[in-house]
Structure 1
Amino acid sequence: MTHGRITRTLGATVLTAGVLFAGTPAASADQVRDGQWANLYFGLDKVWSVTKGDGVIVAVIDSGVDASHLDLTGSLLPGYDPEGQGRETKPTDEHGTGMASLIAGHGHGNGEGMVGLAPRVKILPVYRGEGNSMPKGIKWAVDHGAKVINISQVTTTSGPEDFADAVSYALQHKVLVVAGSGNDAGAVRTPANAPGVLAVGAVDKNQKIWAKSNYGPELMLTAPGVGIVTAAPETVGSCQNPYCIGDGTSDATAYVSAAAALVYAKYPDLTPGQVANRLVKTAAAPAGVSQLPDSRYGYGVIRPYEALTAKIPAGSAQGPLAASADTAATDSTGQGSDGHRSDPAVQGIQQPSSGLSLPLVAGIGGGAVVLLIVVIVVAVVASSRKRRRAQPLPSYQPGPVPPPYTAPPGWPPVPQQPYGQQPYGPPPGYPQQQAPYQGPYQGGGR
């Protein structure tokens, strides 16, 4: 398991309004708060006027979370290490603590320290383990009350099929799984490419995609992931400092998980697909992108306040996660992850051989039935002494493979009236956002 977040110690910098300057050897806690530029983008005061995430549990499957960090004290629940070594609260590096702080950091003192997007959420720390331990961690988190499972990790030791059962188990229990797409500018990595997972990419403060953010048809949303301040343990990891700053889809994933937790806090009866639906429909459309979802941005950059307040019908239980499952099985060329077509109309059809051929009958008995038919036909031909040359069957030509996802027929039309909310704009000094794209999951009734 790897996270690949590009981190650098905050101790060698001073932060002011999100801008880095070379300076003193240690950053004070209030400078840390000032350096959280994403909080300005989210508009925390507006978001927190609706909810801070009370009553929602988010599992963080990662390298462990430091429960003693000043900005996380009291926010952790008893967690899980699949190998029984207690590493869920004895972190092996700074990564897990950082992700937990972006979700549920509450600061300390008089407005000092860093805060997460959902500071009253409870964190369920789950150690990522080795090999195929992560699916086991998903199921454990579901059984212990998580509503959202944050996986800011990728793995090269297993494929999406190894996560299918665990993710399906989570969805059946109304738990949303959120995972980072990866940080090598390649295809969406496992487990983000597993069916039913909400895959996340990273953008900078100008809402431009981060150059190393992985992309593909599975990508659903993006969030801030460049120059992100996080909490860090003082005794382990590359930071060895109470705070770090770094880049990566890991950070973006934590923010999307926090936003999902906020939606659950206000709308506790929604399914994971319906939570994703609210996030997707209210996302800010990226500049210059004419059609969504986009392989690099998904449906756009999350806007938590709009996700909490927009007038959006609940929609179907699966919502956009149904498209995620379809896309994970079939890419834009109709090829599955193993390189074979997943179109059921193509599977199981044999090309006829050259020369003489006979119609084959499929059914119970397989080869025995075919052999019986051949024997009968030969007998009939021999007895009648009438030989008739069989004509070869035309070669099977599969039709065009449909796109990864199309909305099922009969869905209600997109309502034409506005949501009725006050116009939203970014903080002063940030680029103007475009209105959300009105695509199949934007502004409609699903």
Structure 2
Amino acid sequence: MAFELGAAACWGEVLYGMGFTRTLRAVGGVVVAGALLFVGAPSASADYIRDGQWALDAFNPQKVWKESTGKNVTVAVIDSGVNGDHVDLKGNVLPGKSFADGGGTADHESGDDHGTAMAALIAGHGHGPGHADGIMGLAPDAKILPVKRNETFGGDANEVDGAIRYAVDHGAKVINMSFAGPYELTEGEKSAIGYAVKKDVLLVAGSGNDGTGEPLYPAAEPGVLAVGAVAEDGQVLGKSNYGSHIRLIAPGERIYSAGTHPKYRQATGTSDATAYVSAAAALVRSKFPDLTAGQAANRLTKTAISPDGRTGIASPDPKYGYGVIRPYRALSEDIPPGAKNGPLTMPEDSDPPAGAGTDAEGNGTRDGASEVVGGLSPLAVAGMALGVVVVVLGVVIGVVVGQKKRRNGPPPGGPAFGVPMGGVGVPPQQQFGYDQQPGNPGPYPPAPPTHPPGQ
């Protein structure tokens, strides 16, 4: 019965139904802006699986693939293993490694189909004449590096440090982690994430499917791009977890993808949304190979759109982050590279960004003006140093003036007593090229204000 819903329920048709028309009249252009994101050209294929890929059509893939197909980018899928023999994936899956079942490769999974589904959403190439049938991924020329976890999908997020390091050391530029658990990561796993960040690998993880604000891992870990899901109606999926760590959302409702037995499957959740974000990141890293992982993420966040049609959001909202990914815009718009770490919160042991800093929450700043060094910004450090120089110089001048007065001036208590150091009537801060502002304890600008997510 689920398969019969296929194309009849694709998003484009939903948008143009009577319900959508009434909504348009009610709220006007804001909804139109949000709706335009999801209206794609209808598929010409007669294959019900392809016709059911409403999310792919929403991205207008033919325009996207004129910009990038993910070529020369490897995406590691840390999951349950991948069926590399699947007709829609064959040739795009590397051997990889299994950290379960006694080791070996991870490209011949015949049981759990979760990893195969994620791989297909990222790099499926379809099959048949013109590749018009089956599952087409958003980055069909990317390569998949399957890494099978110690635990089957649905377990906690632990025991992935070896998997992450293996992915980094075997050429992955993006790591997809479509799993989540309530347990904070071990020190080994935190170290592995820091290792990936230092090696310029973008880690992408799903926020979880409980519909609560409970932070799940690895998505909530610094250094990871956390992803929520959007439903077919353009709103945040009700079961998508939320929180201050969320950065992006992507389609995650009624998503067709490849499987093992049977050959295809349909699912709902943040796992599928995560795969789409990883695919979009692969597209960006393919077209802009000189961008860092954070700068690639920056392109995705800068071009995202909120469920109510807003763009250019300054601070991530707890429900949807910066909004829904728009791959074509991320590939085609003129966007400054930004700070090395982009919108990502960095692990404590990661390298500081080159030429850019982090704000009070640890997020990469755009201009580096608030880079933190030992808890203080460079401006603060410079200001304190300047203050010390002023004080020392003032003391020296005071001593010299005092000695001169004792030699040549009036006796103590005369007219010169109490004259401001450095000149009559001239505050010392003006003499040395700065002016203190109310509430600012030193000769340096106040730190830029920080805003909580969603404000």
TM-score range, shorter chain: 0.5 to 0.7
1:182 pairs, out of 204, 208, 232, with: 208
Change (3 A) 1:14 1:286: closer
Q: Distance in 1 between matches of 2:359 and 2:188?
A: 16
Q: Distance in 2 between matches of 1:16 and 1:227?
A: 11
Q: Distance in 1 between matches of 2:116 and 2:230?
A: 21
| Partner deviation per Cα, 1:15-56 (whole Å, 9 max, x = no partner) | 225459xxxxxxx98110000001121010110011111110
In the alignment, structure 1 segments of 5+ residues that lack a partner are 1-8, 21-27, 235-240, 332-342, 346-406, 411-438, 442-446
Change (3 A) 1:324 1:200: farther
Q: Which moved more, 1:284-293 or 1:29-38?
A: 284-293
Residue pairs, 1:2-401, within 5 angstroms: 13=4, 15-19=6-10, 30-83=47-100, 84-86=102-104, 88-91=106-109, 92-110=111-129, 111-130=132-151, 132-159=158-185, 162-186=188-212, 187-234=214-261, 241-287=262-308, 292-322=315-345
Change (3 A) 1:327 1:109: farther
Q: Distance in 1 between matches of 2:93 and 2:83?
A: 9
| Partner deviation per Cα, 1:404-424 (whole Å, 9 max, x = no partner) | xxx9759xxxxxxxxxxxxxx
The TM-score with structure 1 as length reference comes to 0.66
Q: Distance in 2 between matches of 1:29 and 1:136?
A: 43
Report the residue type matching 1:303 in the other structure.
R
Q: Distance in 2 between matches of 1:282 and 1:43?
A: 15
Q: Distance in 1 between matches of 2:107 and 2:183?
A: 24
Q: Higher helix proportion, which one?
A: 2
Q: Distance in 2 between matches of 1:119 and 1:101?
A: 9
The CA deviation at 1:163 is: 2.9
Q: Which moved more, 1:270-279 or 1:77-86?
A: 77-86
Report the residue type matching 1:41 in the other structure.
A
Q: Which moved more, 1:128-137 or 1:274-283?
A: 128-137
Report the residue type matching 1:114 in the other structure.
I
Change (3 A) 1:282 1:37: same
1:201 and 1:223 in contact (8 A); partners too: yes
- Give secondary structure in 2 for the equivalent of 1:320: coil
- Give secondary structure in 2 for the equivalent of 1:298: coil
Q: Distance in 2 between matches of 1:127 and 1:329?
A: 33
The CA deviation at 1:210 is: 0.5
The TM-score with structure 2 as length reference comes to 0.65
Change (3 A) 1:321 1:227: same
From the CA coordinates, give the structure whose radius of gyration is larger.
Answer: 2
2:67 and 2:331 in contact (8 A); partners too: yes
Report the residue type matching 1:134 in the other structure.
V
Change (3 A) 1:327 1:157: farther
Q: Distance in 2 between matches of 1:284 and 1:62?
A: 29
Q: Distance in 2 between matches of 1:318 and 1:16?
A: 40
Q: Distance in 2 between matches of 1:228 and 1:54?
A: 24
Q: Distance in 2 between matches of 1:176 and 1:271?
A: 9
The CA deviation at 1:90 is: 3.8
- Give secondary structure in 2 for the equivalent of 1:114: strand
Q: Distance in 1 between matches of 2:112 and 2:219?
A: 22
Structure 1 stretches of 4+ moved >6 Å: 288-291, 323-331
- Give secondary structure in 2 for the equivalent of 1:200: strand
| Partner deviation per Cα, 1:104-141 (whole Å, 9 max, x = no partner) | 01000021111010000000000011374312101100
Change (3 A) 1:312 1:60: same
- Give secondary structure in 1 for the equivalent of 2:47: helix
| Partner deviation per Cα, 1:381-430 (whole Å, 9 max, x = no partner) | xxxxxxxxxxxxxxxxxxxxxxxxxx9759xxxxxxxxxxxxxxxxxxxx
The CA deviation at 1:74 is: 0.4
| Partner deviation per Cα, 1:289-336 (whole Å, 9 max, x = no partner) | 7874110100000000000011011111111113798899899xxxxx
Report the residue type matching 2:169 in the other structure.
D
Q: Distance in 1 between matches of 2:172 and 2:125?
A: 19
1:221 and 1:299 in contact (8 A); partners too: yes
1:160 and 1:195 in contact (8 A); partners too: no
In the alignment, structure 2 segments of 5+ residues that lack a partner are 12-44, 349-357, 364-373, 377-445
1:17 and 1:37 in contact (8 A); partners too: no
Q: Distance in 2 between matches of 1:18 and 1:288?
A: 22
Report the residue type matching 2:104 in the other structure.
G
The CA deviation at 1:195 is: 0.7
- Give secondary structure in 2 for the equivalent of 1:49: helix
Q: Distance in 2 between matches of 1:184 and 1:14?
A: 25
2:98 and 2:106 in contact (8 A); partners too: yes
Partner of 1:356: none
Report the residue type matching 1:218 in the other structure.
H
Report the residue type matching 2:75 in the other structure.
V
- Give secondary structure in 2 for the equivalent of 1:126: strand
Report the residue type matching 1:159 in the other structure.
L
Change (3 A) 1:328 1:161: farther
